[in-house]
Amino acid sequence: MQAIMKTKPEKGFEIKEISEPQITHSNEVKIKIDVASICGTDHHMWVYDQWAQKRLPPAIPFVAGHETGATVVEIGSDVKNIQVGDKVSVECHEADGTCYQCRSDRMHVCRNTKIFGVDKNGIFAEYAVIPELNAWKNDDDLDPALASIQDPLGNAIHTVLPKDNLEDIAGKNVLVTGCGPIGLMSIPVLKMLGAGQVFATAGGNNMQRLNMAKEMGADLVLNAREDGDKIPKIIRDATNGDGIDILLEMSGNTHALSQGLEALTLGGRVSLLGFFSGPITLDINSLMISKAANVYGIAGRRMFQTWQVMRGLLKSKELQNKLKKLITHRVNMSDWEKGMIEIHEKRAIKVVMDPFK
Amino acid sequence: MQAIMKTKPEKGFEIKEISEPQITHSNEVKIKIDVASICGTDHHMWVYDQWAQKRLPPAIPFVAGHETGATVVEIGSDVKNIQVGDKVSVECHEADGTCYQCRSDRMHVCRNTKIFGVDKNGIFAEYAVIPELNAWKNDDDLDPALASIQDPLGNAIHTVLPKDNLEDIAGKNVLVTGCGPIGLMSIPVLKMLGAGQVFATAGGNNMQRLNMAKEMGADLVLNAREDGDKIPKIIRDATNGDGIDILLEMSGNTHALSQGLEALTLGGRVSLLGFFSGPITLDINSLMISKAANVYGIAGRRMFQTWQVMRGLLKSKELQNKLKKLITHRVNMSDWEKGMIEIHEKRAIKVVMDPFK
Amino acid sequence: MQAIMKTKPEKGFEIKEISEPQITHSNEVKIKIDVASICGTDHHMWVYDQWAQKRLPPAIPFVAGHETGATVVEIGSDVKNIQVGDKVSVECHEADGTCYQCRSDRMHVCRNTKIFGVDKNGIFAEYAVIPELNAWKNDDDLDPALASIQDPLGNAIHTVLPKDNLEDIAGKNVLVTGCGPIGLMSIPVLKMLGAGQVFATAGGNNMQRLNMAKEMGADLVLNAREDGDKIPKIIRDATNGDGIDILLEMSGNTHALSQGLEALTLGGRVSLLGFFSGPITLDINSLMISKAANVYGIAGRRMFQTWQVMRGLLKSKELQNKLKKLITHRVNMSDWEKGMIEIHEKRAIKVVMDPFK
Amino acid sequence: MQAIMKTKPEKGFEIKEISEPQITHSNEVKIKIDVASICGTDHHMWVYDQWAQKRLPPAIPFVAGHETGATVVEIGSDVKNIQVGDKVSVECHEADGTCYQCRSDRMHVCRNTKIFGVDKNGIFAEYAVIPELNAWKNDDDLDPALASIQDPLGNAIHTVLPKDNLEDIAGKNVLVTGCGPIGLMSIPVLKMLGAGQVFATAGGNNMQRLNMAKEMGADLVLNAREDGDKIPKIIRDATNGDGIDILLEMSGNTHALSQGLEALTLGGRVSLLGFFSGPITLDINSLMISKAANVYGIAGRRMFQTWQVMRGLLKSKELQNKLKKLITHRVNMSDWEKGMIEIHEKRAIKVVMDPFK
């Protein structure tokens, strides 16, 4: 079969002909890739940035990719709740299942986790083999392109709902700082969960994102370049002086974080998803301690409560239609490089790929 | 001023001319009633049923009513966050503020609570005086008729979201058993909060309610008379065998409760709002214990988290439009008896009253 | 090897000579039984009561027992966090790992669960083979007899702490209704978690249990036969009129449940562990709904948060010493019937068995 | 009566003769001060540091102090749950009761809060008048000196248990960074709540505090000066490689915070109480985001859940005895300056004052 692979410790990917993967453990399933999509992580791997140089060498050469809508074509003898023909997506974190974290409902931060398409073969190929646990059964009628982008959508939902019983969105005012793909996806999710007002900020050099934030349903979109330090006051004025109840930090920008915390109501809640370029300096006294803020670091998606919430939310045609707008480009896997360049040039939001012709 | 009063320990209300209430404590506000609505409790009081016979005598004679949209016309010297001209509704539970429950975020079950229009003068009149804490400031542009029905809407929201951090609605399947006013109101609230599928059951003798449940947005409405014991199976089949995640019991009917619990997924959640006619018999072993059910008794509305959620949700025109459909009758206070009879005959869902001409 | 087996669909167990179990899946471990203990479930199986008649036939003949302190003697090739020589206990619920419940932190109510010693071979033998996930690594220096009774201790802890972040014991007043082994174990656990006052009730025909409740650290032990309906008042008087914050129902007795709920403070919390003899009749209006009670059905132990809490608590020598008092009898496996009869006659609390000589 | 007052915008306090305060609102109570204690805040006020220069001028001149054990000598006509003769302590935050925060169980961060002894007259005097809500009724037999230090003890408990339903201490490993009075108090509280291992770090220049940490019950006390950057490894080695479950940051030291976060297990929990000298620089990517940390800013004490927990915990003589050890100095109010200097020189942990002779 053909596969898009990281073959060398340097910039780039290559298409290679390799043999089909086979089930070797009784709890595995073999899937046929119907659609794949390109994640920001794939872009880091392609660029071969600092993170990639540190993380990838042990696995090279390997098949890239982890976002997919696929069909089960074979199952191992101990597979219990998946059948041949099932439509599935892939949770890309393979957890060990028995460490301290896995045994306490924190499998998404398993300390021995391996990521498909990063630490071992991924899904930019015709077939892949994964454990049953990593195969998430989709509703049969879910568009495979939407099925494929559940990985970043799951990040968005996890940022919105970081824990069980912390779905404090109903009627609350929320600020999303940063309008990359995940930030944008969080906006219609917030609106679906009954958020009061949703504010969004973006850098301002990318009008596509500012416009898309509006289209996703944000009540007020602020241009960080133009509105700058006035943002907390603008938000406070729009919320009866209360400020926002919830901050979703998706930008990895220190100013955005500070402004967001400044706009936060006393006792409010913060999710941190965006990575910063390095250590940051923050007035933690006034912005976290006196503010009685509750701050959650967000990694991956909860396995699998986030997916369960996602299944329910994706029953909404309105949400589906909004998410489709975020799929700005669609190419064949053989043209993967075109898609990658659209992402690199920040012209694309999500790029979806059809299987090799 | 004129007032609709409970004047004698027997069936009925009377309109009386009484003097306007005055502010006597520095933390009180005086309000002018713009709109009032009739609660099921008012109906019990009018009928003078067993509950009423036991509860009301100490307060007779008193002004009935507690659901209202009103305007602040005067404030006491220590009032801090309410101003003359503010549009307000009334939280009808006057808590003592310092008991064990009040000091631990359970003011809605204050052990010394007094209810306006039940234990002391209410708001079926031209004016009323209440503590600042019981005056809930509405958005200025909220229709007073909608402002007035926030009391039952708050019950519905409290049933949906019984605690802080228990807003596990997103993507979940929910069954509402019982389609009285509060059950019906819970349906659009659930849909706003991202529920997956919403099922509703009603007794079947009242097609208005079954039709209204559909109109409120229920995905599947079941007629308890016709579908009977098949209800758990119907629901299980519609939910991939999982059953419902959440049961909102609004009927006070033992069969409905048993069927709802049977349809509940292992580890699911239940809110109990509907009052039963007396002690009930239940297979608690299989329906609660082995099922690992989490069951919440619901009383009133949380003071004031439920109101805060409600303010946010009411910003939605879609929710407003659905709620307006539930206001099936509108009369002048002088014609209160017409409205009461519509409720008594179960032809009305909510009856709203305009001030005395 | 020798094993205590359920060989026929009738009263009794038999010692049989069978071949040692072998690892057949790469994720399994083989354990040598150092100590076993007799559970109430084993007693039901021995008596062959109604429950047993319904549940056991598919598995007969099988090795009984599931409570043990054991040593790992062999591991499969995919075992990751367990080593040969590790001291382990057994979580007796074998979950499928991929159903709706397992994928949402409710593995203890997996809908396809199998129980060792009930649905398949257990551990009243020289060796057993179990999945790595079901092997709970103990601290090396934990007495195997204490290791073995972690199954009921885990039930007790789960009843005390039914959910993540619901450890509302600190400084709270708690009532334990029912002083069987699990009820008794909950008492020192409650004291360790900073409970204010701990009340316990027992039937009154068994002075051993009433005395043991006191020895376990209960502040006040009430004899249900003698104190009867006065219990709620006695408790209310001892708690400044507030009543208990938390009720742990361990008796399966309807009067105990009603009295406990009556003694509960408004907005209090209830865990239901004890099984009732059949459907029960309860005034749910006043005892659950108006009371705004939060009620949790308890099944098994959380996998594995309960075990993690248990590991921490068992570091306390004080707790260890109290638990040792509950081990009233110790016999060799070849004398299992002596132990069983002590349980049957209600003279034993916990019976621990040493390996076949 | 005599009072210790802040009379001028400069260093120092003065004893003045002023008239007794009188009840002016019907919801107030008048208390006689039996014992008072000196808070770190009082020391800042005495020194007149930057914070004091900014905060105090509007209230000068005013009576200092807010920690006390007192007796109610008079009550207003609307006081409901307090009686003359009751023993009380003072919650020093006077909230407005009706703002957004107060109406959502966050009264401790009321946006219009006033603090007794900072923004208005305090309790370093013979009498004080406070609202009923701010009077916390103690158990009658509680030593007034212990009653008085409930203010910092409440801070400690709030840091340990930041929210309802977040009492995840049972069996968990905890690190306390910083052994000032509040850090020290948290140690016996943690042990009472069933913590597994409790680690404590202190600066190392103050052997009294390191020794006291041990005496309070810490399992391992680390000297930050000597152990320095090895602290995370030492802790990880002592916890089976898991690291700590919970970090209580009490030092306001950036290194302590970084080391604590490094030692935190994936998905662990952090409470931040200690104030830093200014903005801090932190590798938030690895220490909060990838770590999936849950971080809570802690301000004051919850009103009044923290007090309710504290009442229950203080029933333990063992806790009382440990807390008494922290009262290192006791003086008469007329000798307040001696006590203040002991604090200033860091020779005292808590200084308790008896009423003017």
Q: Which amino acid is at B213?
A: A
Give the count of beta carbons closer than 10 Å to the beta carbon of residue D58. Answer: 8
Picking from C48, C50, C37, C24, the residue whose alpha carbon sits closest to that of residue C122 is C37
* Integer angstrom CA distances of residue C277 from A113, B246, B282, B283: 47, 27, 12, 10
Flag whether residue D254 sits within 8 Å of chain A, measured between CB atoms. Answer: no
Q: Do A112 and C80 touch (CB under 8 A)?
A: yes
Cβ proximity of A180 and A250 under 8 Å: yes
Tell which residue, C146, C180, C179, has the closest CA to residue C41: C180
pLDDT single digits (tens) C176-193: 999 999 999 999 999 988
CB atoms A194 and B166 under 8 Å: no
Q: What is the pLDDT of residue C166?
A: 55
Q: How confident is the model at residue C167 (pLDDT cuts 50, 70, 90)?
A: low
User: Do C293 and B297 lie within an 8 Å CB cutoff?
Assistant: yes
To the nearest whole Å, the CA of A205 is away from the closest chain C CA by 41
HEC string for B95-116: CCCCCCCHHHCCHHHCCCCEEE
The backbone torsions φ and ψ at residue D167, rounded to the nearest 5 degrees and listed phi first, read -100, 55
Yes or no: say if B137 and B71 are a contact pair by the CB < 8 Å rule.
no
Neighbours of chain D (3+ CB pairs under 8 A): A, B, C
Cβ(C64)–Cβ(C43) below 8 Å: no
- Residue A112 CB burial class (10 angstroms; 0-12, 13-18, ≥19): middle
Measured between beta carbons, the chain A residues lying within 8 angstroms of D108 are 292
What are the C-alpha distances in Å from B148 to residues B93, B199, B354, C52, D280? Answer: 15, 27, 11, 57, 50
The yes-or-no answer on residue D108 being catalytic is no
Q: What is the dihedral of CA D95, D96, D100, D101, to 10 degrees?
A: 0
Test the C interface: residue of A24, A29, A104, A114 with most C CBs within 10 Å: A104
C78-114 pLDDT, tens digit per residue, is 999 999 999 999 999 999 999 999 999 999 999 999 9
Burial class (CB in 10 A: 0-12, 13-18, 19+), A55: middle
The mean per-residue pLDDT over the stretch C315-340 comes to 96
Residues of C in contact with B281 (CB under 8 A): 279-282
Residues facing residue B62 across a β-bridge:
B6
Rounded Cα gap, residues D31 and D34, in angstroms = 9
**Which residue out of C255, C264, C295, C296 would a mutagenesis test of the B interface target, given it has the greatest number of B Cβ atoms within 10 Å?**
C295
Joined tokens for residue B84: 């003359």
pLDDT at A167: 58
Which of C248, C237, C191, C239 minimizes the C-alpha distance to C214? Answer: C191
Closest of A139, A133, A155, A131 to residue A67, by C-alpha: A155
Residue where the block lists tokens 């009921």: C152
Each residue of C19-46: pLDDT tens digit?
999 999 999 999 999 999 999 999 999 9
**N-terminal to C-terminal alpha carbon distance within chain D:** 11
Nearest one of D123, D108, D43 to D350, comparing CA atoms: D43
Band (C321; pLDDT cuts 50, 70, 90)? very high
Instruction: Identify all chain B residues contacting A193, using CB atoms and an 8 Å cutoff.
Output: 169-170, 193-194
Q: List all residues 6 or more positions away from C2 whose beta carbon is below 8 Å from its beta carbon.
A: C15, C16, C17, C18, C125, C126, C333, C334, C356
Tokens of C115: 């129980």
At C227 the pLDDT is 87
Using CB atoms within 10 A of its CB, is residue B120 exposed (0-12), middle (13-18) or buried (19+)? Answer: middle
Q: pLDDT band at residue A166, thresholds of 50, 70 and 90?
A: low
Q: Residue C215's pLDDT is what?
A: 97
Q: Is B283 left (phi over 0), alpha (psi -120 to 50) or beta?
A: beta
**Pick from C279, C288, C292: which is nearest to B106 by CB?**
C292
Which of B64, B18, B68 minimizes the C-alpha distance to B43? B64
Give contacts of D193 with chain C, Cβ < 8 Å: 169-170, 193-194
Looking at the complex, does the CB of residue D112 fall below 8 Å from at least one CB of chain C? no
Q: Are A44 and A12 in contact (CB under 8 A)?
A: no
Contacts of C241 (CB under 8 A, 6+ apart): none
Q: Which of B75, B86, B104, B130 best probes binding to D when mutated, by most D CB atoms within 10 angstroms?
A: B104
* Percent of chain B topping pLDDT 70: 99
The secondary structure of residue C61, as a DSSP letter, is S
What confidence tens digit (pLDDT) does each residue in A80-107 have?
999 999 999 999 999 999 999 999 999 9
Tell me whether A150 touches chain B (CB under 8 Å): no
CB B86 within 8 A of CB B32: no
Give yes or no for residue B165 having a pLDDT over 70: no
Strand boundaries in A181-279, DSSP class E: 198-202, 220-223, 244-249, 264-272
Q: Closest partner residue to B105 among D82, D97, D105, by Cβ?
A: D105
Instruction: Give the contacts of D341 (CB within 8 A, at least 6 positions apart).
Output: none
The chain-wide mean pLDDT, for chain B, equals 95
D293 vs A296: CB contact, 8 Å cut-off?
Answer: yes
Model confidence pLDDT, tens digit, residues A29-54: 999 999 999 999 999 999 999 999 99
Half-sphere exposure of B15 (CA within 13 A, CB side): 12
pLDDT beyond 60 at B166: no
* B157: CB partners within 8 A, 6+ apart: A170, B186, B189, B301, B306, B309, B310, B313
Residue C66 contacts residue C117 (beta carbons within 8 Å): yes
At residue D62, the 3 state secondary structure works out as strand
Read off the pLDDT band of A353 (50, 70, 90).
very high
Encoded amino acid at D335, one letter: D
User: What would the mean pLDDT of B143-160 be, rounded to a whole number?
Assistant: 96
By annotation, the residues of B acting in catalysis are 41, 44
- Please report all neighbours of B, defined by 3+ CB atom pairs within 8 A: A, C, D
Q: What's the CA gap between C244 and B101, in Å, rounded?
A: 12
pLDDT at D167: 56
CB within 8 Å: B307 and D103: yes
Q: What percentage of residues in chain A have a pLDDT greater than 90?
A: 92
Q: Name the residue among C282, C288, C296 with its Cβ closest to that of B297.
A: C288
* C271 CB neighbour count, 10 Å cutoff: 25
Mean pLDDT, chain C, whole residue set: 95
Mutate one of D91, D101, D103, D161 to test the B interface: name it (highest B CB count within 10 A).
Answer: D103
Would you tell me which residues 157-186 of chain C have a C-beta closer than 8 angstroms to some C-beta of chain D?
157, 161, 164-173
Residue with tokens 């108006």: C290
Tell me whether residue C43 is one of the annotated catalytic residues. Answer: no
pLDDT per residue as tens, chain D (357 positions): 999 999 999 999 999 999 999 999 999 999 999 999 999 999 999 999 999 999 999 999 999 999 999 999 999 999 999 999 999 999 999 999 999 999 989 999 999 999 999 999 999 999 999 999 999 999 999 999 999 999 999 999 999 988 765 557 888 999 999 999 999 999 999 998 889 999 999 987 788 999 999 999 999 999 988 888 999 999 999 998 999 999 999 999 999 999 999 999 999 999 999 999 999 999 999 999 999 999 999 999 999 999 999 999 999 999 999 999 999 999 999 999 999 999 999 999 999 999 998
Question: What's the confidence (pLDDT) of residue C233?
Answer: 97
Q: Do C25 and A305 touch (CB under 8 A)?
A: no
Give the single-character DSSP code of C103.
G
**In chain C, what residues touch A165 (CB-CB under 8 Å)?**
165
Q: For residues B155 and B306, what is the distance between their CA atoms, to the nearest angstrom?
A: 8
Question: Where on the phi/psi map is residue B90: left (φ > 0), alpha (ψ -120 to 50), or beta?
Answer: beta
Identity at D217, one-letter amino acid code: G
Distance (Å) from the alpha carbon of C347 to chain A's nearest alpha carbon: 37
Lowest-confidence range among A343-357, B195-209, C324-338?
B195-209
Digit-coded pLDDT (tens) for A256-295 = 999 999 999 999 999 999 999 999 999 999 999 999 999 9
Among residues A196, B102, B84, A242, the alpha carbon closest in space to that of D100 is found at: A242
Confidence of residue B170 (pLDDT cuts 50, 70, 90): confident
Does residue A316 carry a pLDDT above 60? yes
Name residues whose C-beta falls within 8 Å of residue C207's C-beta, 6 or more positions apart in sequence.
Answer: none
